Amino acid sequence: MSTLPAASLFLCILFLLPRLDKVSAADHAAGRTIPTRGTCNNTCGTIPVMFPFGTGFGCGHPYFARYVNCNAGTLQFSTGTGIYTVSSIDYPTSTIVVVDPLMSTCSSMQNSGSFSLDRMSPFTLTGSNIFVLLGCSTTSPVFDPSEDLCDTGSGSRVCSGLYSCKGVNGIGLPQNAPTSTCCVYDSLMGIGSGYSLDLPKLQCSSYTSIYEFGDEGDPMKWKFGISLQYNDSYYTTACKDCETSGGLCGFAGLDESFSCICRDGVNTTTNCFGHG
């Protein structure tokens, strides 16, 4: 059996490598996904992914990689209480919106799990969130008059709107049920330590969060989700230079030091000029 001479094999490899690694500048200019090392991309599904976020291990900032990653085309946010879908990221305002799959909405209400946010994470709740506890027991601690945890003013209109939804049947209540089992409050700071929502402890069957009302009179048009502010102070000059050169900012090594990930698969500590 004949074999290809070593010199000829070497020439074939040299001929093929530039074509295997090449990603054209036109793709980058057109906004198409730029793969790097087969793991980092600038989109996840339909959501643009920019620093400090990344689509996989080694992409973005290491602190954020613990909380946000791309899984099968879905950008996900993880906490101690579960994995939530990231529905949008607004980079100019440094905010993201996450959706709990078990959280109630006007069209669908169900028993929910708990929600927590690590106080040491780079995320905090924005002031636009209106959290609503649904189907609470009359002995729930949220109704303790000495605690004053429920908004009994404008919050009562929010409860009335939610309980007018047909979806309320999903938590065992009739449509337009009395709002005495509903509690509206603006912040989780008063519930336990950190940002924590423990439904079994609060004796409530479900919760929802509204971050934008739109047409306030129609709960079907309210926007449900949890709006989070993230710390944008991690963006450095080195990362800016990396992005200017067409690379994606990431990290490498045991010390998770900065790495500029280039389109030709090369990692550098500076930028990607001269790499694809």
End-to-end CA distance of the chain: 39
- Tens digit of pLDDT per residue, the chain (276 long)? 445 454 444 334 333 334 333 333 333 333 334 444 446 889 999 999 999 999 988 999 999 999 999 999 999 999 888 999 999 999 999 999 999 999 999 999 999 988 988 878 899 888 889 999 999 999 999 998 888 888 877 788 999 999 999 999 999 999 999 999 999 975 555 444 357 888 999 999 999 999 998 767 799 999 999 999 999 888 899 999 999 998 999 998 888 999 999 887 788 888 998 775
What one-character DSSP code corresponds to residue 150? S
What one-character DSSP code corresponds to residue 93? T
Q: Cα 255 vs. chain centroid, distance in angstroms?
A: 25
Report the b/e string of 60-98 with b at 16+ CB within 10 A. bbbebbebbbbeeeebbbebeeeebbbbebeeeebbbbb
User: Cis omega before residue 178 (within 30°)?
Assistant: no
Please name which of 91, 36, 33, 34 lies closest in space to residue 58, comparing C-alpha atoms: 36
